[in-house]
Amino acid sequence: MLYFHCTTVHPHYFLQENWNSDPRFIFLICHADLCCCCYSHRPVIPLSKMSRRYDSRTTIFSPEGRLYQVEYAMEAIGHAGTSLGILASDGVLLAAERRNTHKLLDEVVFSDKIYKLNDDMACSVSGITSDANVLTNELRVIAQRHLLQYQESIPCEQLVSILCDTKQFYTQAGGKRPFGVSILYMGWDKHYGFQLYQSDPSGNYGGWKATCIGNNSAAAVSMLKQEYKEGETKLTDALALAVKVLSKTLDMTKVTPEKLEIATLTRENNKTKIRILPADEVQKYITEFEAETAKAEAEKKKKEEKK
């Protein structure tokens, strides 16, 4: 749609010749509600109504000081698959909901949610998968460039910070849109040991002990606050907690190994080991959780009967 400002010259002067034969599709921005020059030919849109269109561009602030395109990108993540991360004393884990579970899908060459970045880092994504592919490839390039130049792995926070600078630039430059992806990073380096980070489309990032992104993330974070014990949580406990949180927060009646993807990061013989759990191992934790749930319900029922 084209808009033209009212002047003393007739608006037809500003219109492209034969642009549209129907005058109903030609609008005019005017300081007054009525244009004395051409009101009889076409409608007039006051500037007061046009001020609501500030969210059509990434770089325009609203009167309240908000960037709506960035908020819309975060809203897209809220409808994406759930991903959570837990920092344990002897490792880190990422667990994610898999929504693409077609029986003909080759799982050996396809990873829906979790990506290995280098020998010491991996990440899980929630949001637009195509955007995630671009960002994970960029993360790998940054990590390999640092390894080639300095002959050592890039520190975890430095890698996250460099990517977030790029994500922030896409909220500030004209003609671009924010990446509709939020990322959880797990890694290890010689400076801070095991680490867990989260970044969002605005370019903001932070370190976490346990967090969740994606659909139903608020409920999952609330459960993590209650269940997580800092300094006491081992990796096996974190795995059980991840299955418990996802089982209670995902929008499905029964959790199956095909619906979950879990990866762990540990240290063995001074080397970082990143491992994606096979389906049978995930099923073991699901079975344990279901047994504990059934036991708790049975005890609760007995107490109610005694009353």
Return the HEC string of the chain: CCEEECCCCCHHHCCCCCCCCCHHHCEEEECCCCCCCCCCCCCEEEHHHHHHHHHHCCCCCCCCCCCHHHHHHHHHHHCCCCEEEEEECCEEEEEEECCCCCCCCCCCCCCCCEEEEECCEEEEEEECHHHHHHHHHHHHHHHHHHHHHHCCCCCHHHHHHHHHHHHHHCCCCCCCCCCCEEEEEEEEECCCEEEEEEECCCCCEEECCEEEECCCHHHHHHHHHHHCCCCCCCHHHHHHHHHHHHHHHCCCCCCCHHHEEEEEEEEECCEEEEEECCHHHHHHHHHHHHHHHHHHHHHHHHHHHHC
Q: Looking at residue 200, what is its pLDDT? A: 95
Do 87 and 179 fall into the same domain?
A: yes
Residue 30 inside a domain? The answer is: yes
Do 93 and 143 fall into the same domain?
A: yes
Residue 221 inside a domain? The answer is: yes
C-alpha to C-alpha distance for 187 and 92, rounded to whole angstroms: 7
Q: Looking at residue 63, what is its pLDDT? A: 83
Do 280 and 244 fall into the same domain?
A: yes
Do 30 and 147 fall into the same domain?
A: no
Single pTM value for the model: 0.79
Residue 154 inside a domain? The answer is: yes
Q: Looking at residue 193, what is its pLDDT? A: 96
Do 27 and 113 fall into the same domain?
A: no
Q: Looking at residue 24, what is its pLDDT? A: 43
Do 80 and 51 fall into the same domain?
A: no
**For position 116, which CATH number holds?**
3.60.20.10
Do 25 and 120 fall into the same domain?
A: no
Do 10 and 128 fall into the same domain?
A: no
Q: Looking at residue 53, what is its pLDDT? A: 59
Q: Looking at residue 156, what is its pLDDT? A: 98
Do 97 and 16 fall into the same domain?
A: no
Residue 195 inside a domain? The answer is: yes
Q: Looking at residue 15, what is its pLDDT? A: 41
Q: How many CB atoms lie within 10 A of CB 48?
A: 9
Q: Looking at residue 108, what is its pLDDT? A: 58
Residue 65 inside a domain? The answer is: no
Do 127 and 169 fall into the same domain?
A: yes
Do 52 and 86 fall into the same domain?
A: no
Do 39 and 148 fall into the same domain?
A: no
Residue 70 inside a domain? The answer is: no
Q: How many domains does the chain have?
A: 2
Enclosing domain of residue 87: 75-298
Q: Looking at residue 101, what is its pLDDT? A: 62
Beta bridge partners of 86: 93, 210
Residue 46 inside a domain? The answer is: yes
Q: What is the pLDDT along the chain (307 residues), one digit of tens a residue?
A: 444 444 444 444 344 444 444 444 444 444 444 444 444 444 444 444 444 555 566 678 888 888 888 998 999 898 899 999 999 999 999 999 987 666 776 665 555 689 999 999 999 999 998 999 999 999 999 999 999 999 999 999 999 999 999 999 999 888 888 999 999 999 999 999 999 999 999 999 999 999 999 998 999 999 999 999 988 899 999 999 999 999 988 887 788 888 899 999 999 999 999 999 999 999 999 999 999 888 888 888 888 887 6
Residue 214 inside a domain? The answer is: yes
Q: Looking at residue 252, what is its pLDDT? A: 79
